Structure 1
Amino acid sequence: MRYMATYDLMETLRNTNQWLGATAAAMGSYPATALVPNPFFQMLAAWGDVTERTFHRMTVKPDWGITSVVTKDGRERLVEVEKLVERPFGDLIKFNAVGRAPRERRILLVAPMSGHYATLLRSTVNSLLPDADVYITDWHNARDIPVSEGKFDIEDYTLYLVDFMRHLGPDINVVAVCQPAPLTLAATAYLAELDPEAQPQTLTLIGGPIDPDAAATDVTDFGRRVTMGQLEETAIQRVGFKYDGAGRMVYPGLLQLAGFMSMNAEMHSKAFTDQIMRVSKGEASDHDKHNKFYDEYLAVMDMTAEFYLSTVERLFKDSEVARNEFVVDGHKIDLGAVTDVAVKTVEGAKDDITAPGQCIAALDLLTGLSDDKKASHVEPGAGHYGIFAGKSWRNNIRPMVLEFIDQNTGRHAEQAEKKKAQKTKAKPLTKPAKNKKREPMKEPSLPTRIPV
């Protein structure tokens, strides 16, 4: 399957179905059809409308849709999305509440790179914005990244996180959701060893596979059952000629989506059939429950082949983080080096993707961290999605995470002030030219450089 023709065939099928949907919607909506006393044309238009929107969603990155936030003083403030650090495979962005003074709580959300865009955490960002300055990792679709930009595997992902944490300073509170939890833990340990004044204030790991063997799920069983050769042959393709990343080896978003849908085919089939009926009766809307869910669920992105394969091999098969054997750029990370970062784990009792036990394993690996800096929570009745975006998150987990952050606020205040002073001192007196290319972030003098 590792051919451009295969990738282009999938895109052709998607494009054809989108065109068929648009054509059916146009034909069914033709004014003269209103004279026919038969619901056929209404059903045809409804089917076309739902089909066209469904296949169009698969290639469009959803908008954040966060335009304003109501602050504690009752004022509604506009929200702007600002890119703080721009890199080929992902950016560090901030949600600016215009005119609001900086908040004492500063939170970095580490979004998963597991097939969906960072906008999957839209509701998580929305819930935190009134009480904190919120930053997030915004990963890019691999199909849009030219081959000339090089590779991107879990070591590169970890180093991106290291750079982002350095940029934000030691008073940042990091919240890693799902897949990036083990790599975020590794990035924190990397800083603890090599640049301790840049390590974050707190680290919250939500539903992450720190030790996949701690509790078996269908995901871990698949990782054990399939060989790397089989995975490379069946899951990896080259980006077709339509995109900037032509020729790059990827795990395609469309292939991932096919797997997602097949796991609950009957449920998805019923959801689309019901939506067609609602559209035909005029009961649907652009922002109804169905569209709000599937606008996000169907928007998938390609992952670089090396990131996907190294995740399966090194995190699930070899359990490098769980065995404290993870190596980044030739440097073996020691999780026991973390001694000054408060760490909390959050799990869902009914999580069938990252089962309870997989995430809390992080606390046992942090041998250098005192017990008073460790915390854990298992949310009763919560599934995987609920622990970071659902009712359980809003009512129980979010307040708990904020309280955990408040309990540890000020731990790294001295280092943060020192870093701010250094930045101010190093700031140039004249503004750089607007068309000047932004230089990549530079690391301090560390060992020579030889993220589901």
Structure 2
Amino acid sequence: MRYMMTYDLMDTFRNTNQWAGASAQAIASYPIWGMFPNPAFNLMAAWGEVTERSFSRMVTKPDWGLDSVVGADGRDHIVTVENDLRRPFGDLIHFDVQGRAPKKRRVLLVAPMSGHYATLLRSTVQSLLPDADVWITDWHNARDIPVSAGKFDIEDYTLYLAEFMDHLGPDLHVIAVCQPAPLALAATAYLAAQNPKAQPRTLTLIGGPIDPDANPSDVTDFGRRVTMGQLEQMMLQRVGFKHAGVGRMVYPGLLQLASFVSMNSETHSSAFYEQIMRVSKAEAGDHDKHNKFYDEYLAVMDMTAEFYMSTVERVFKNREIAQNQFVVDGRPVDIGAINNVAVKIVEGENDDISAPGQCLAALDLLTGLPDSKKAAHLEPGAGHYGIFAGKSWRNNIRPLVLDFIDANSPATAKRKKRA
């Protein structure tokens, strides 16, 4: 019960701050204060507006907001989000571009389950839609999943990915971003042994911790510094009665958000101070740069306790994937069994979460894959976010990934052969 009380206490604190912000904005915006001009009222209203918006976003799942995409014909084509496969802990969703012929490139984006919703990859999806048919893994908030649905750990995650790949067929190109990179690699190896025909044609791993010890960062070192018992006591809580997942042990999204913010507290404090100043001067907009970023960044979801704990223990502490000792559903997964899936590694030079070298370690594990099917790219000056959603992704990495996909597609190979 103490875990449940802590969970509800955190949500109460969030709710109280949302209320305080809304109240401050309402009180400071009374027209009567116009008779007593004072900049303090503008500052109070601005603080209230920014505070209320920030704390309300923490429990709101963002919309995809992808209304249309420009086709090769120059027309806007409506984009609808469709559930292709529904599962208790996550769905496979498809972005259907209406009125457009199917694209030769079929891409599955594997979104992280690390505190944020799959919408964190909205700009990545948006950049790929003009040139590809796109699917993405849409993981559910653990607090909304009844205990009767069972557990969900990294083995279950891997089996979900294998099922999604199998469902979409072999003419598929998988792009895994950050946290799921090692599990996407494991899922491909699992298929190589259990259902070889279901393997994708290419696998692109972007900034993921295949071997956390290859180049330790503050994030990966954390897994070394604490014991599993400490994590269980400090990080895990039980969902309260307010939600469908009442009683489920989770790593709460609010607690994860506190960790995210603490890593760059000065940057975030400065950003919010400047936004309050802009709002007080009527220089801010509802969809300005600050709000667009923080509406997504502050929207967090709970993670099942068993997924979080097994990730720390098996990926970071025991390095099971880095040592090719991972087991799924009682079956050893041999990454060396992958022999015909082209694999590309993308890393950022200034990535402080998955430092350069951690993802590159995957190529050494692919002992059954010829060098001609291995590729790697280190983006100069790019941080973690930039390699999948920022300017570096749009201008440099995205074209390289699409070229890699085309170079390993049957149609491209046939054209080269005729030439």
Same fold (TM over 0.5): yes
CA contact under 8 A between 2:154 and 2:183: conserved in structure 1? yes
Gaps of 5+ in 2: 414-419
- 2:82 alignment partner in structure 1: 82
**What amino acid does structure 2 have at the position aligned with 1:221?**
D
1:62-141 pair list within 5 angstroms: 62-141=62-141
Report the counterpart of residue 145 of structure 1 in structure 2: 145
Q: Deviations over 1:23-52 (max 9, x none)?
A: 111111112111112122222111111111
Which residue is 2:303 aligned to? Answer: 303
* Secondary structure of 2:213's aligned partner: helix
| Correspondence list, 1:263-278, <5 A | 263-278=263-278
Q: Distance in 2 between matches of 1:340 and 1:404?
A: 14
State the TM-score, normalized to the length of structure 1. 0.90
C-alpha displacement at 1:400, in angstroms? Answer: 0.3
Task: Tell me the SS of whatever aligns to 1:116.
Answer: coil
SS at match of 1:130: coil
- Structure 2 counterpart of 1:353, which letter? I
Identity over aligned pairs, percent: 75
Which residue identity does 1:136 align to in structure 2? I
Partner of 2:177: 177
What amino acid sits opposite 1:399 in the alignment? Answer: P
TM-score by length of 2: 0.97
1:81 Cα offset (Å): 0.2
- Alignment match, 1:284: 284
CA distance in 1, matches of 2:266, 2:175: 34
Deviation, structure 1 residue 2: 5.9
Matches of 2:96 and 2:410 in 1, distance apart?
Answer: 23
Contact residue 59 and residue 300 of structure 1 kept, 8 A: yes
With over 3 angstroms needed to count, the CA separation of the structure-2 counterparts of 1:254 and 1:392, relative to structure 1, is same
Residue 119 of structure 1 and its aligned partner are, at CA, apart by 0.4
1:418 matched to which residue of 2?
none
Paired amino acid for 1:197 = K
1:21 corresponds to which letter in structure 2?
G
- SS of aligned partner of 2:279: helix
Q: Deviations for 1:114-159, whole angstroms, at most 9, x for unmatched residues?
A: 0101000000000000000011000011011111101000000000
- Taking a change above 3 Å as real, the CA distance of residues 412 and 4 of structure 1, as seen in their structure-2 partners, is farther
Equivalent pairs counted in the alignment come to: 414
| CA drift at 1:411 | 8.0
Cα distance in 1 for partners of 2:2, 2:363 equals 40
Q: Distance in 2 between matches of 1:408 and 1:172?
A: 11
RMSD over aligned CA atoms reads 1.4
Q: Which segment drifts farther, 269-278 or 189-198?
A: 269-278
Structure 2 counterpart SS, 1:171: coil
Amino acid at match of 2:91: D
The corresponding residue for 2:355 is: 355
The aligned residue for residue 393 of structure 1 is: 393
Equivalent residue, structure 1, for 2:36:
36
Going from structure 1 to structure 2, the CA distance change for 1:156 and 1:111 (only over 3 Å counts) comes to: same
Specify the SS of the correspondent of 2:322. coil
CA distance in structure 2 between the aligned counterparts of 1:175 and 1:412, rounded to whole angstroms = 19
Q: How does 1:129-278 map to 2 (within 5 A)?
A: 129-278=129-278
- For structure 1, the 5+ residue unaligned runs are 414-452
Q: Is the 8 A contact 1:110 1:177 kept in 2?
A: yes
- Give CA deviations for 1:149-184 in whole Å, capped at 9, x if unaligned: 010000000000011001100001000000000000
Q: 2:416 is matched with which residue? A: none
Contact 2:406 2:412 in 1 (8 A): no
- Indicate the SS of the match to 1:213: coil
- Distance in 2 (CA, whole Å) between partners of 1:255 and 1:50 is 21
Instruction: Confirm or deny: 8 A CA contact 1:348 1:378 kept in the other structure.
Output: yes
SS at match of 2:113: coil
**Partners of 1:3 and 1:345 in 2: how far apart?**
40
Contact 1:336 1:368 (8 Å CA) reproduced: yes
- Find the residue that maps to 1:344 and give its secondary structure: strand
Secondary structure in 2 matching 1:402: helix
How big is the shift at 1:412? 12
In 1, the alpha carbon distance for the partners of 2:165 and 2:25 equals 49
One-letter amino acid of the counterpart of residue 35, structure 2: L
- Write out per-residue CA displacement over residues 392-429 of structure 1, whole angstroms, 9 at most, x where no aligned residue: 1111100000000000112899xxxxxxxxxxxxxxxx
Task: Provide Cα deviations, 1:221-254, integer angstroms capped at 9, x if missing partner.
Answer: 1111100000110000001111111110000010
